Chains A and B, each alone.
Chain A
Amino acid sequence: MVGGDNSTVSTSMTMSEAINHAIGEAMERDPQLTLLGQDIGAYGGTFGVYRGLFDRFGPQRVIDGPLCESGTIGFGIGIAVSGVRCIAEIEFFDFVGVAMDQIFNQAAKLHYFTGGKLTVPLTIRTPIVSRMGMGPQHSQSLEAWFMHIPGIKVVIPSQADDALGLMRTALTDPNPILFVENVRLYGRRGPVDVDADPIPFGSARVVREGTDATVVALSGMVHEAVVAADRLAERGISVEVIDPRTIVPLDMDTILTSLAKTMRLAVAHDAHKSGGFGAELAARCMEQGFDLLDAPVERVAALDVPIPCGPVLDEVYPNADRVVEAVERLMGLTR
């Protein structure tokens, strides 16, 4: 198990192993760092991200608790404000609603309303479980909710090395952090330099350079955008793909620099279209880069319907085809 042993320097990890590695090394470094959640003990987490941590660190630090998201996050906040760093897990992103008051009224606001007297070094891990046929209550991407609330940082990596570097940063940050993972990416393997520096928040990655259109994509849609860019390249259309990696803080500089080159923007995410990250990014680009836009911003997102079970869900989610269509519209090739 690559992620379970800090002495192993690897050049290839799955995203799951990378997250496990970052947490394991932080627990070695900080003997108080505590994990809270459900099914995180010997079971290793619903999707196996914590595999091996229970054996390494024991039940006092990898704490299986009762099934109550609000209580779990609330206890996590209490632990964190006491100066003990904590990672609390929400098993599916969809369940975050049960804990919402603790996240947006407590964790996000305590530092502010105490005039800085309390800090909340709490990282909340949660996976997007989209496209797996689990239906409307187990499939959502809710990251935009948290952009709306000042005081919580939102991290959303799309590949293993980013997940490692961003988790390392999360585990030294004194603020509440929502760390949004993606079940479909957990097993995706990629090159990882375990000696690399942590990745600072608010630094986007230009996944692929291009000159005709910019696609800003989140999580799983980063990979769909790359597939789309490959197809468009065959037709002589050069697409730049950007992964913001954190949406709070958001690296607008990299996005606006790209727009200055391409003059065209599409935003791609698994979340619903209305009120999503794409809406916010489109608004910011109009505010900060109106003169850079040669075409209306395209949003490539899940349709505004609950996510159905079964094969029809493919109709709801965006994919590489829809990114291609969006870029075609941006280029004036279709309407």
Chain B
Amino acid sequence: MTTLPVPVDEAQPGPRPTDLDADALLGLYRDMARVRALEDQVVDAFNAQLIPGSTHPCIGVEAIKAGALSTLRPDDLVLATYRGHGECLLKGISAEAIMAELMCRTTGVNKGKGGSMHLSDPSVGLVSTNAIVAGHIPMAGGVAKACQIRGTDQVVLCFFGDGAACEGEFFETLNMAQIWRVPLVLICENNGVAISVPTALSQATPDIADRARGFGMPADVVDGNDPIAVRAAVGAAVARARAGEGPSLVECKTVRWERHSAFSAGGGDPGEQRLAWQRVDPLPRFRAALTAWDVGDAATLDEIDAAARDEALAARTAAEKAPHPAPESIHEDVFAPTAP
């Protein structure tokens, strides 16, 4: 089964979800708008040469981030990829601490030495983002195993892409997580392309979910640009994990932003890919659904958009004023201090 994102102009809003009141629905929209506004500002800051290295925006995949994160308790845990600023923001790292980290400033969440691909704040349950494709997946399994060891009922979400689903560590984790029934929910953002290689050339089967099923793990495939569908599938997986019923995988079909990263040079004109993701842009689509469900009028939704943009701009402005780490700080945090 493949569930590709529906184009905005063809999307038919289904019945209004009965388990979400107006505040919750507007909350989902607000989450998506905050991620979009932050990433728009990130791309702008990158183009202004304020962000070194590269950066991988979540633009176009906000419905996955918002839908999935909305199912968590504050003490649940998240591991994500370099395309993970959205998870960081929605799990509770401030836009300013994210933006400052991307700009490698001392006020960044990781003191400005991790940068765009290495964000972490375990105090809010965002364990780590990671720059090695699939490198964080077994780690997420281990974090879930630790929940078991400690006897908590926390759940771990692990985000990754279709590229990671080709790596051995993904398969090893499917096996180990299933053997030990750890409280892990694997969320695959299948955006159809790994840098430049399309899934048609890299995936032996159309659905990555089949790989989880091959290990006896429950798996769903959803339209990743529909936050309600993502939320329903991830919510069911989280409930299973919390009840001690083990791991699940949710594959969210989506369409990537115009480039792999803001730095990417190959592939010529990104215009075609831009048209592709904008055709299925989850924000106007969800806005239309809210309107159809009579949840929030245009002024309310505009206000949410404006507040999100204000937050992102304020974060950027504050980050730009913060200092870079002092040269001597390069020697800090190589090792954790040992007890005297």
Contact = CB atoms under 8 A, between A and B. Distances in A.
Interface of A: 32, 34, 60, 63, 65-66, 68, 70-71, 73-84, 86, 101-102, 105-106, 110-119, 150-151, 153, 172-175
A82 B138 contact: no
Contacts of A71: 138, 141, 169, 172-173, 175-176
B338 A106 contact: no
B214 to A, nearest CB: 15
A219 to B, nearest CB: 23
Task: Give the one of A32, A81, A110, A115 with max B CB within 10 A.
Answer: A115
Interface size bucket, B side? 35 or more
B179 interface: yes
Contacts of A66: 172, 175-176, 179
Most-contacted residue by chain A among B120, B121, B175, B335 (CB, 10 A): B335
Nearest to A107: B139
B110 A113 contact: yes
A114 B128 contact: yes
Interface string B118-156: 101111000110101001111111111111011000000
A99 B109 CA distance: 29
5 contacts: A71-B141, A79-B142, A106-B139, A115-B109, A172-B339
B335 A117 contact: no
Contacts of B142: 74-82, 86
B335 A113 contact: no
Contact of A110 (B113, B128, B168): B128
B113 A113 contact: yes
Contacts of B149: 32, 34, 60, 79, 84
Nearest to A98: B168
Contacts of B121: 117
Contact of B146 (A68, A82, A111): A82
A112 B113 contact: yes
Contact of A102 (B128, B135, B335): B135
A81 B110 contact: no
Nearest to A108: B334
Nearest to A174: B336
Nearest 3 CB-CB pairs, A to B? A78-B142, A74-B138, A71-B172
B168 A70 contact: yes
Contacts of A78: 138-146
A116 B332 CA distance: 9
B181 to A, nearest CB: 13
B335 A70 contact: no
Contacts of A117: 109-110, 120-123
Given A76-B142, A83-B146, A113-B114, A175 B137 contact: no
B172 A68 contact: yes
B173 A175 contact: no
A112 B333 contact: yes
A58 to B, nearest CB: 12
B111 interface: yes
Interface centre among B109, B141, B334 (most CB of A within 10 A): B334
Q: By CB atoms of chain B within 10 A, which of A32, A79, A83, A119 has the most?
A: A79
B335 A175 contact: yes
A101 B172 CA distance: 14
